[in-house]
């Protein structure tokens, strides 16, 4: 029996290198060799080698918000717990490489047999003591369990990259929301100043009406413009409060007046110079969502391999040893030993297409993930191009609106002075004041968009996630509740 066992094990080892099923092959990635809107060498741009892009603004409030969100954001912590789920699943997959079923069995029974049967027993009552260890080990001839390990490892890598991508997106969203709140503060200041100017205009027009110099039409028009500006002011206050509530959610806390804890300025920072964006191929290595999509395809390739292996016969070793006796004192006696060993072959020959169709389904899912991987790369390239062209165009828009606001400010002053002396119609004053409000709001929107464009360039290039390196995926308290991962025992 020992000879047959050794021969079977030798054959198993020889065949253990065989892994059936598809092999992952990186698909063709349709990306251009260089960016369409990358800065020319003659342009002024900076090389930002620091992946923590928020440090470029030198804003302590922004730095504190991103760090606090790393500690508290619930979506990020959910993603972190999934990393530990993947670690545990990998350990489970490793365990499948060893005897899949082991069980220690022990029992004690008291038995009484009938003495009135045709052949009454010589001993009508007896006890039985039993202690046995049983094991079954399916040999991984076709790579089914090794495919499982590889798939679990790819899922682990994918969960880590997904965690990093959640933080990359989180940091970018916090930066965008923070800049929007600053923009709202700036617009509120502009609107309050315009309300002050327009209230002064209403007082002047009211005085002229009292003196009979003008009709009531001018007064009503001035009041209409004033109330419209006040309504716009209330709209901006509302939008700012909604943005603050959203920022609280990103920080992982219930909405509260966040300005009590953090100082929000009313002047937008200048967008840093156009950063060095490298080449499109760089984002495949730097963006964690692209790498997570690739790991998903790799894992599915191994799952398809498992489906293929299930169509082939399974070879197993079974064995047991233990002790059995009617007397507890003699349970561990040499004569009480029991043992057995055998080999099993199981093959689902008549599976009515279940196994073969599962192979087709898993292969189709693999192709879906490969196409999805390509699609993620394409969308990533689009995000970079969108951010760069927006950065370039918004910079021009800011310059145009800055000139327009300066000219309209002067127009408001001149038209009001000339109106007081009766040199121009009141319509000129109303038009200038209305234009000033619209142009100031448009200027702030353009300045905010320009700063956000820089943030979008950084996040679309895949920067920001490096902040999480060498840090745990969850808080220490939650890590303690999850427990430790155990390998092999």
Q: Is residue 485 part of a domain?
A: no
Average pLDDT over residues 28-32: 83
Considering the domain architecture, whether residues 90 and 50 belong to the same structural domain is answered as: yes
Question: 473: domain CATH number?
Answer: 1.20.1600.10
Which two structure tokens, joined as six digits, stand for 238? 């509302």
Mean pLDDT confidence for 420-432: 81
- 46 confidence band (pLDDT: 50, 70, 90): very low
Q: Tokens standing for 141? A: 């001839």
Provide the pLDDT confidence category of residue 145 given band limits of 50, 70 and 90.
very high
Domain extent for 129? 101-139+315-346
Same domain, 250 and 288: yes
What's the pLDDT score for residue 213?
78
Residue 223 or residue 424, greater confidence: 223
Residue 233 has pLDDT above 90, yes or no: yes
Do 164 and 90 fall within a single domain? yes
- Please state, in angstroms and rounded to a whole number, the distance separating the CA atoms of residues 158 and 290: 10
Q: Within this chain, do residues 185 and 319 fall inside the same structural domain, yes or no?
A: no
pLDDT at 251: 95
Q: Is the pLDDT of residue 274 over 60?
A: yes
How many domains does the structure of the chain reveal? 2
User: Please, which pLDDT band fits residue 489 given cuts at 50, 70 and 90?
Assistant: low
Contact 100, 136 (CB under 8 A): yes
Does residue 116 sit within a domain? yes
Residue 17 has a pLDDT of 59
| Helix ranges restricted to H, 211-322 | 216-250, 281-286, 288-309
What is the percent of the chain where pLDDT is above 90? 60
Which pair of tokens denotes residue 228? 């419209």
What does the pLDDT look like over 385-403, one tens digit per residue?
999 999 999 999 999 999 9
Q: Are residues 108 and 183 in the same domain?
A: no
In a domain, 169, yes or no: yes
> What mean pLDDT comes out for the span 346-362?
92
Q: What global pTM score does this model have?
A: 0.87
Is 35 within the bounds of a domain? Answer: yes
Q: With respect to residue 8, please indicate whether it lies within any of the assigned structural domains.
A: no
> For residues 408 and 435, is the Cβ–Cβ distance under 8 A?
yes
Residue 4 maps to a domain:
no
Identify whether 74 is part of a domain: yes
Domain end point (choices 346, 365, 396): 346
Per-residue model confidence (pLDDT) at position 51: 82
Q: What is the spatial distance between Cα 100 and Cα 84, in angstroms, rounded to a whole number?
A: 23
Instruction: Write down the pLDDT at residue 430.
Output: 85
Six-digit token string for 425 = 């119609």
For helices 144-210 and 288-309, the axis angle rounded to 10 degrees is 150
Residues 129 and 148 in one domain: no
Per residue in 292-332, pLDDT tens?
999 999 999 999 999 999 999 999 999 999 999 888 888 88
Q: What are phi and psi of 42, to 5 degrees?
A: -75, -20
- Of 363, 355, 309, 359, nearest to 24 by C-alpha is 363
Q: Would residue 69 count as lying in a domain? A: yes
Both structure tokens of 358: 């599962």
Q: What mean pLDDT, rounded, does the chain reach?
A: 88
Q: Is 108 helix (H, G, I), strand (E, B) or coil?
A: strand
CA distance 278 to 463: 13
257 and 289 fall within a common domain: yes
pLDDT for 360 beyond 80: yes
- Candidates 96, 92, 85, 152; CA nearest to 299 is 152
For residues 74 and 90, membership in a common domain is answered with yes
pLDDT, one tens digit per residue, over 152-198 is 999 999 999 999 999 999 999 999 999 999 999 999 999 999 999 99
Tell me: pLDDT of 15 over 60.
no
Q: Does the pLDDT at position 6 exceed 70?
A: no
Q: What is the pLDDT of residue 272?
A: 80
Q: Do 37 and 177 have their domain in common?
A: yes
**What residues contact residue 434 under an 8 Å CB cut-off, 6+ apart?**
225, 228
- Whether 218 and 336 share a structural domain: no
Order of strands, sheet of 314-325, starting from the edge strand that comes earlier in the sequence: 101-112, 125-139, 314-325, 337-346
Alpha carbon 19 to chain centroid distance?
33
What are the structure tokens assigned to 369, written together? 């993930």
Q: What is the pLDDT of residue 43?
A: 47
Return the ∠ at Cα 467 (arms to 465 and 471), rounded to 5°. Answer: 110
Same domain for 268 and 163: yes
**214 shares its domain with 327:** no
In sequence order, which residues have a C-beta less than 8 Å from that of residue 179 and are 6 or more positions away? 268, 448, 451, 452, 455
Q: What DSSP line would sit under 339-403, residue for residue?
A: EEEEEEEE-----TTHHHHHHHHHHHHHHHHHHHHHHHHHHHHHHHHHHHHHHHHHHHHHHHHHH
Q: How far is Cα 26 from Cα 139, in angstroms, rounded to an integer?
A: 30
More confident residue, 19 or 74: 74
CATH value at residue 337: 2.20.200.10
């Amino acid at each position: 029996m020992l000879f047959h066992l050794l021969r079977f094990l030798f054959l198993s080892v020889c065949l253990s290198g065989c892994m059936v099923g598809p092999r992952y092959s990186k698909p063709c990635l349709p990306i251009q060799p260089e960016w369409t809107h990358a800065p020319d060498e003659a342009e002024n741009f900076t090389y930002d080698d620091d992946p923590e892009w928020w440090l470029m603004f030198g804003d302590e409030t922004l730095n504190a918000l991103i760090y606090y969100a790393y500690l508290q954001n619930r979506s990020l912590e959910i993603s972190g717990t999934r990393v530990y789920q993947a670690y545990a699943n990998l350990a489970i997959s490793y365990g499948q490489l060893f005897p899949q079923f082991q069980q220690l069995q022990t029992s004690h029974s008291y038995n009484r047999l009938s003495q009135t049967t045709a052949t009454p027993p010589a001993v009508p009552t007896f006890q039985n003591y039993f202690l046995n260890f049983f094991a079954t080990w399916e040999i991984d001839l076709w790579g089914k369990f090794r495919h499982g390990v590889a798939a679990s490892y790819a899922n682990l890598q994918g969960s880590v990259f997904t965690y990093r991508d959640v933080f990359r997106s989180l940091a970018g969203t916090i930066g965008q929301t923070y800049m929007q709140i600053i923009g709202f503060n700036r617009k509120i200041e502009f609107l309050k100043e315009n309300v002050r100017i327009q209230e002064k205009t209403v007082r002047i027009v009211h005085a002229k009406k009292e003196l009979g110099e003008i009709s009531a039409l001018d007064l009503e028009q001035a009041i209409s413009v004033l109330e419209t500006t006040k309504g716009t002011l209330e709209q901006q206050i509302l939008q700012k409060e909604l943005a603050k509530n959203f920022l609280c959610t990103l920080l992982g806390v219930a909405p509260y007046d966040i300005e009590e804890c953090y100082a929000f300025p009313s002047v937008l920072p200048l967008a840093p110079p156009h950063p060095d964006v490298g080449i499109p191929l760089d984002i495949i290595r730097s963006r964690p969502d692209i790498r997570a999509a690739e790991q998903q395809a790799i894992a599915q390739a191994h799952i398809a391999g498992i489906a293929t292996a299930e169509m082939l016969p399974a070879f197993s070793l079974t064995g047991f040893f233990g002790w059995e006796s009617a007397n507890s004192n003699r349970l561990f006696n040499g004569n009480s030993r029991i043992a057995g060993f055998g080999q099993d072959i199981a093959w689902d020959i008549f599976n009515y297409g279940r196994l073969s169709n599962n192979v087709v389904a898993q292969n189709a899912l693999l192709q879906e993930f490969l196409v999805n991987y390509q699609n993620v790369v394409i969308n990533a390239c689009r995000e970079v191009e969108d951010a760069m062209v927006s950065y370039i165009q918004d910079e021009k828009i800011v310059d145009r609106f800055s000139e327009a606001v300066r000219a309209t400010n002067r127009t408001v002053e001149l038209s009001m002075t000339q109106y007081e002396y009766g040199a121009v119609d009141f319509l000129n004053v109303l038009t200038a004041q209305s234009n000033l409000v619209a142009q100031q709001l448009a200027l702030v929107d353009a300045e905010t968009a320009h700063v956000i464009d820089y943030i979008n360039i950084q996040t679309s290039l895949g920067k920001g996630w490096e902040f999480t390196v060498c840090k745990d995926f969850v808080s220490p308290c939650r890590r303690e509740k999850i427990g430790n991962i155990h390998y092999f025992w």
